[in-house]
Chains A and B, each alone.
Chain A
Amino acid sequence: MNNARANILSKLHASIGDVDYEKLPQESSYAYASRSRQQQLAHFISQLESNHTQVIKTAASDIPTHISQQLKQRDISRLLYGKETHFSSLIEQVKDNDQQGNNSVQSSIDLVAYDFTIDGNKERLFNEMPASVTTSHSAIAATGTIVLWPTPQEPRTLSLVPPVHFVIVDAKQLFARFEQLINTQQWHNKLPTNIVLVSGPSKTADIQQTLAYGAHGPKELIVLLINSDEI
């Protein structure tokens, strides 16, 4: 349909001519001081906290209790989650757990599985889901970053649309820096539909440089950090 492609490429080729790529200057990266695993973890937590994120160190088995408590504090009674993940059976205890700790009233947490497609369910997703929980793929110490790797079980909008986002992070999956993560796991071999690096709740400083949270995505990010004692 258009000659734009041919025109652009031929102009670029003509301008650059023949280049010997072997003769390009050597690129060297900065040698960052190595930190112990404990130092990395401490840095990871402090970065997240300074970015308005609540970090709860916990044993995996206590995850349901923490989620129930946090939901109750916020008066939230519904939680969206993904089925068939590494932690889904634990998350499914959130309901039971709440029933145990709340004997006067009937179960107040409505656990909703993200087992529908977004088509035709957008209204429900945007208006009826006050909180969600997801697992995470890995984490980056230097920047206080959590790597989300959405799957059919945990779709992209699960961590985006609900205003409160709980995320389970395994301290054993902590990497010092982004470049190390990419290289260790050979990301270039195969990338999924989407990867998101998350380093706090949604925010903006677009009005008079005043920081405000909850611009479009989650207003709150709550990290449930497991295995923090084991590294």
Chain B
Amino acid sequence: MNNTTPASQTQPLEDESKYAASARNFRQNVARDLANDELRSNFRGAMDYLIDKRQSAFSDQDELETLRRQCQLIKQRCLVKLPLLLEQLEQQLTSNGIKVHWAETITQANEIIASIIESKQGKTVVKGKSMVSEETALNDHLEQRDIECLESDMGEYIVQLAHEHPSHIIMPAIHQNKRQVADLFAKNIEGFEHTTDVDALIQQGRKVLREKFCHADVGVSGVNFAVAQTGTLCLVENEGNGRMCTTVPDLHIAITGIEKVVESLNDVPPLLSLLTRSATGQAISTYFNMISHPRQTGEKDGPKEVHLVLLDNGRSQMYSDPELRQTLQCIRCGACMNHCPVYTRIGGHAYGTVYPGPIGKMVSPHMLGLEATTNLPTASSLCGACGEVCPVKIPIPKILLRLREESVKPVGDIPLIMKGQGSGRKPIEASVWKAWAAVHQSPTLYALSMWAVTRARAILPQKLGPWTQARTAPKVAAQTLHERVKLRNSQKQESGNE
């Protein structure tokens, strides 16, 4: 790729995630998706459904708040101990027979996974749902190396057939309705008998995918919790595809972000309870799969080799600042997006990133840099719904404000916290605020400017860019408050003198 490609074009820069380019197009994406009525109604319906489900799973406010506080503290403890826990996890997994790999970038992670697969002459991969593998765009990478990688979660399978990426982290195909899925199957599955009956559609998918599970060389999965104490990989799922991917093929490769490690087995039950209830309103998922070893002597099934890839990709940057570190508390339940008025309206693809919605606006700037994502933290009304439903109490609106600040910080004279810091800084905007600050620090300048503005009210512009697209421009008063109070006092005095 051409190194001189300017950032404003839609081609990703060298060694950059393809999502950086689509995130730069945020405004165009939003305009495109807001104009799509079917898409908007699919999202509205889905979000109402998920909000309702969550609500009914938390009937006891007291329990909910106690659990949220407990899980917040669990995650914060695990983060404070993160480097130690990662080392402990590695040691335990290794002694259990599971091989551990570390990757700083998505390119490294993809390279590690591809090499493991190639070393076993693997040709076909079935993948359980893993957002981290979406983050690395693993499918694209494996395809380039002539390895077939098939998504096996029903939603992910649909999204893959459509050559899209997930629009929601829990329900990847939420942007499609059953008619659209039926059309997609008709185009892609041989012998598909056209139907919009959901049961029949799922059975079609099941047929195709079971065939794949039966013959795949490799299973790839994500991880929900990695337990340092015991060296255990925990997976939460409903469909059973996760169990298939981690049990049937000879080789299982799990990939996860470094923040998924928890200290002990005791940390798991409260986190699991909040995760499934916040995500889909289920008391527990259909399956909770705990993997601690590859196949041991005498056992009749299970992969002969298990690998875990631990990915950084911007997480150590989040970790470097105490406020931003809270981002890593996230357990990926999706409740913040379900409750977000912006996400509900623009949908998951408009963000252009792997993780959409409030959580996406917090993590993507670290993964892709603030330059590519400078608009994302501003796509929030700061209504606070996300923070209120967050099971681990991440102060999402506060972190979004912080990211806005980071993106307009002057570059150069302050320590660099984030990649792309200050890239949203515009000279005009910066000087306007500088002037504003100066005026408000000097009583004389303030009085003078107020006098000028009130006298110029008739000639102030009526069109103020996007602000006046749906509003009338604010009208400045004829006199300043100071003048009116002064006038009133003098009138009082006069009437008192009479």
Partner-B contacts on A (CB < 8 A) = 2, 4-5, 7-9, 11-13, 15-16, 19, 21, 24-25, 27-30, 32, 47, 51, 114, 116-119, 122-123, 125-127, 142-145, 152, 155-157, 160-161, 177-179, 182-183, 187-188, 191-210, 212-218
Contact = CB atoms under 8 A, between A and B. Distances in A.
A27 B244 contact: no
B238 A203 contact: yes
A188 B230 contact: yes
B414 to A, nearest CB: 17
A177 B291 contact: no
Chain B interface secondary structure, helix, strand, loop or mixed? helix
B80 interface: yes
Given A144-B283, A177-B269, A16 B302 contact: no
A15 B210 contact: no
A30 B206 CA distance: 40
Given A4-B312, A216-B240, A179 B86 contact: no
Given A155-B299, A188-B230, A216-B244, A28 B66 contact: yes
B94 interface: no
B203 interface: yes
B181 to A, nearest CB: 5
B300 A191 contact: no
B239 A178 contact: no
A12 B319 CA distance: 7
Contacts of B152: 216
Nearest to B60: A30
A117 B202 contact: no
B6 interface: no
A28 B70 contact: yes
B7 to A, nearest CB: 26
For the complex of A and B, list the 7 residue pairs with the smallest distance between their C-beta atoms, beginning with the closest.
A217-B240, A206-B155, A215-B239, A197-B288, A118-B301, A202-B240, A143-B284
Given A12-B83, A116-B300, A192-B292, A160 B240 contact: yes
A209 B300 contact: no
Given A28-B70, A145-B284, A207-B198, A194 B292 contact: yes
Given A2-B102, A7-B104, A206-B154, A30 B290 contact: no
Contact of A204 (B42, B202, B214, B268): B202
Contacts of B215: 122
A15 B287 contact: no
A185 B86 CA distance: 26
- Of the listed residues A191, A194, A195, the one surrounded by the most CB atoms of chain B closer than 10 A to its CB is A194
A140 B296 CA distance: 27
B282 to A, nearest CB: 8
Given A209-B45, A214-B203, A216-B152, A204 B284 contact: no
A4 B316 contact: no
Given A28-B70, A183-B266, A215-B239, A178 B272 contact: yes
A15 B320 contact: yes
Nearest to A201: B286
21 contacts: A2-B108, A11-B316, A12-B316, A15-B316, A15-B319, A16-B319, A19-B80, A30-B63, A118-B300, A123-B214, A126-B213, A145-B284, A156-B301, A182-B269, A202-B238, A206-B154, A207-B178, A209-B171, A212-B202, A214-B203, A216-B241
Contacts of A117: 300-301
A162 to B, nearest CB: 11
A202 B301 contact: no
A42 to B, nearest CB: 15
Contacts of A161: 248
A198 B319 CA distance: 35
A202 B377 CA distance: 38
Nearest to B80: A19
B359 interface: no
Nearest to A82: B300
Contacts of B171: 205-206, 209
A193 B287 contact: no
A143 B287 CA distance: 12
B137 interface: no
B292 A191 contact: yes
Contacts of A2: 102-103, 108
B82 to A, nearest CB: 6
A27 B66 contact: no
Contact of B294 (A47, A143, A193, A214): A193
B177 interface: yes
Contacts of B239: 202-204, 206, 215-217
Nearest to B264: A188
Given A126-B210, A213-B199, 5 more contacts: A122-B248, A123-B214, A143-B283, A194-B293, A198-B286
